[in-house]
Amino acid sequence: MRFISSLFGILASTSFIGAGFTSAFAADETIRSLAEERGRFIGTILNSEWFNDNIEPEFEEIHKTQFNVVVAENEMKFDATEPKENVFNYTKGDKMIAYAQANNIRVRGHALAWHSQVPGWVNDYKGQKEKLLKVLKNHIDSVVGHWKGKVAEWDVVNEAVNDEYNAGWRSQGSVWYEGIGAEFLDSAFVWTHAIDPKAELCYNDYSLEWGMREKSKASFVVEQVKRWKKNGIPITCVGTQTHIEIAHETTPQNVRDFAKALAELGVTLNITELDIGFPKGSAGKLGAADYAKQGHLYRQFMDVFLEEPNMGEFVIWGLTDAHSWLDEQQGKTEGLLYDKQYKPKPAFDSIMVSLKSHPAAEVKTPYTFAKDTTANDTTVRDTTVTDTTAKDTSNAIAKLRGLQKFTIHLAGRTLFITGTSAKPSTVELFDMQGRPVFSAKCENGSVDLKNITEGLYVARVHAGSASYMQRAVIK
Ligand code: G3I
C-alpha cells in the first residue's frame, strides 16, 4: 500500500510539473502520512459523483493517497437511507464503507437528525410528537445498527441552532424541533449511544467559527454541551463546519478559542466541512497573491488544529474545485485544495508546511489509539460518558472486563491484573482528552494508583503482545 501510494505520488508530482500549480514536497510525503504520524485524521468527502461512478479516475487515487478520514456528501443522510418509511437503502453507504475499509480510512457518519434532506413522508407527520419520536428512533436504530463498528463517529444532530443571533434552537423549518421540541436532540444522542456505544457522537453546525460573543451560535453550543455533560447525555465531540470566505481572517483564532472552551468540558472539536471560497465573480481573475492568501488561511486552520490537543479531525468539504457545492449552490468558487484539473494549489503546500512544522512528538491527539500502528482502529476506544461501574463502587471494587487473556480489577486505589502469564505488564492511564497521566510497570500483578486524582480515566494494560483499554473510575 505504501509502495502504491509512493508510486502514485511520483506519477502525480511528475504530471504537475509545468502546470499552473506545482507542489514543493517530496513525492512520498502526503497529507495522510504526516497526519497519521501525528495521530490525527485529515480528509475530505466523497462527492455524490463518486457514488454514481461519474468522476475522473484521479479523484479516488488522490483521495485514498492523501487522506485518512472520509464522509459521504449526501449518501448517509435521512432521505438517502430511508427514502420510504421503514424501507432502508444502504447500497451507496456500503460502497463507501467498503472503500474505507479497503484503504484503512476512518469514516464519519453524516447525519442522523437534521431538518434538511428529510424525505417527504417524514414531513407528513408534522406536529405528531409521539409518531416523530418513533420515526427518529427507528431511523437511528436501523442506520446506526447497520453500520455499527464501521462508522467511527456520527453527526448525531446537525444544524439545530437558529441563525437569528438570539441563542436559541432552530424553531422554524425543523420537523424535529417543531414536532418534538428540544428533547429530540438529547434523545438522538442517547439512542445512538445505545446502539453503538463505541462510536463518537458529535453535534455539528455552521457559523460556529464566528466566535463566542454573547448570544452567538458558538456560545450557545458551549452552554448546551455543559448541560448535556451534566445530564449524562453521551456527546463526545462538536463539529464546526467552517464554510468560510477568503475575507474571513478572524475565524482561525475563533476556532482556537472554541476548542479551548470545549476542552474544559472534555469534548473534542472537529473541523468537519472546511472550504475557503472566493467570490464567484472572481473566477478567472485570481492571481498568485489570492491563492497565497487562501493558503495562508488554510495553514492557520491547520496550525490551530495541530496545536489544540482536543482536536481530532480536519475535514474539507470537497477535494477538487471541479466538484464543489460552492459553485453549484453558494455563489462562491475555488475553495478547495486541488484545482479543476486536479493540480494541488498553494493551499495544499500550506497544509503540508503546517504539518511539517509541528513535529509528531509535539502534537497531542485526543485518540488514545491514534499513534499506535493501528492508527485507524476505532474499536479500542470506549467513549462512554456515563459509566455504570461508577455506581457500583460501594464495596470499593469495580471489575473491569478484560480480554480472555487477563482480567483487571480495581480495588480502592489498587489495580490488579490477573490471569496473564506474560509479565511484566505496563499500566498507563489517560485522561478523557487522551493525555497520558500515569505509567508504571506491573511486576507483581498490581499497581498503586494512590496519587491519581479522582475522576474518569482510560486505562491501558500491556501484557506481552496483548494490550487492552478500558475506562477506570478512580474514587
Ligand atoms: O438527489 C437528487 C437527484 O435525484 C437529482 O437528479 C439532482 C438534480 O440536481 O438533485 C439531487 O439532489 C441534490 C443532492 O445534493 C444530491 O446531489 C440536491 O438537489 C442538492 O440540494 C443536494 O445538495 C447538497 C446539500 O448539502 C443539500 O443540503 C450538497 O450536495 C451537499 O454538498 C450539501 O452538504 C451540506 C452538508 O450536508 C451540511 N452542511 C452544509 C453542506 C453544504 O451545503
Q: State the CATH number of the domain containing residue 13.
A: 3.20.20.80
Determine the pLDDT at residue 394: 22
388 in a domain, yes or no?
no
Determine the pLDDT at residue 455: 78
User: Domain total for the chain?
Assistant: 2
- The span from the CA of 473 to the CA of 174, in Å, is 39
Regarding whether 439 and 319 lie in a shared domain, the answer is no
Determine the pLDDT at residue 2: 34
Question: Cis ω on the peptide bond leading into residue 167 (within 30° of 0)?
Answer: no
Domain boundaries, position 451:
407-474
Mutational test site, ligand 1, from 49, 54, 74, max ligand atoms within 8 Å of CB:
74
367 in a domain, yes or no?
no
Of 302, 328, 362, the last residue of a domain is 362
| Closest CA to ligand 1's atom 12 | 74
Mutational test site, ligand 1, from 275, 329, 336, max ligand atoms within 8 Å of CB:
329
User: If we measure between CA atoms, which residue out of 328, 330, 329, 348 comes closest to residue 338?
Assistant: 348
User: If we measure between CA atoms, which residue out of 129, 139, 43, 53 comes closest to residue 90?
Assistant: 139
What are the strands of the beta sheet with 466-474, ordered from one edge?
436-442, 425-430, 455-463, 466-474
Regarding whether 206 and 111 lie in a shared domain, the answer is yes
| Closest CA to ligand 1's atom 42 | 325
Strands 446-448 and 414-418: antiparallel
Regarding whether 265 and 191 lie in a shared domain, the answer is yes
Query: The domain that contains 415 carries what CATH number?
Result: 2.60.40.10
Regarding whether 218 and 162 lie in a shared domain, the answer is yes
The number of beta carbons lying within 10 Å of the beta carbon of residue 444 is 9
* 74-130: pLDDT as tens digits: 999 999 999 999 999 999 999 999 999 999 999 999 999 999 999 999 999 999 999
Atom of ligand 1 nearest to the CA of 318: 32
- In this prediction, the residues of the chain whose per-residue pLDDT falls under 50 are 1-19, 372-404, 432-433
Q: Does the beta carbon of 50 lie inside 6 Å of ligand 1?
A: no
* Ligand 1 center to 164 CA (angstroms): 24
Q: Does the beta carbon of 117 lie inside 6 Å of ligand 1?
A: yes
Q: Which DSSP state fits 327?
A: I
Determine the pLDDT at residue 475: 80
Determine the pLDDT at residue 391: 29
Regarding whether 418 and 319 lie in a shared domain, the answer is no
- Spell 133-168 as b/e; 16+ CB within 10 A means b: bebbbebbebbbebbeebbbbbbbbbbbbbeeeebe
**Global confidence as pTM:** 0.78
Regarding whether 287 and 433 lie in a shared domain, the answer is no
355 in a domain, yes or no?
yes
Regarding whether 327 and 430 lie in a shared domain, the answer is no
Determine the pLDDT at residue 403: 36
Regarding whether 346 and 464 lie in a shared domain, the answer is no
Kindly state the cell numbers that stand for 62.
Answer: 488522490
Regarding whether 273 and 149 lie in a shared domain, the answer is yes
| Closest CA to ligand 1's atom 36 | 73
394 in a domain, yes or no?
no
132 in a domain, yes or no?
yes
What distance lies between CA 448 and its chain's CA centroid?
Answer: 35
377 in a domain, yes or no?
no
Catalytic amino acids? 159, 273
389 in a domain, yes or no?
no
Regarding whether 185 and 89 lie in a shared domain, the answer is yes
93 in a domain, yes or no?
yes
Regarding whether 414 and 344 lie in a shared domain, the answer is no
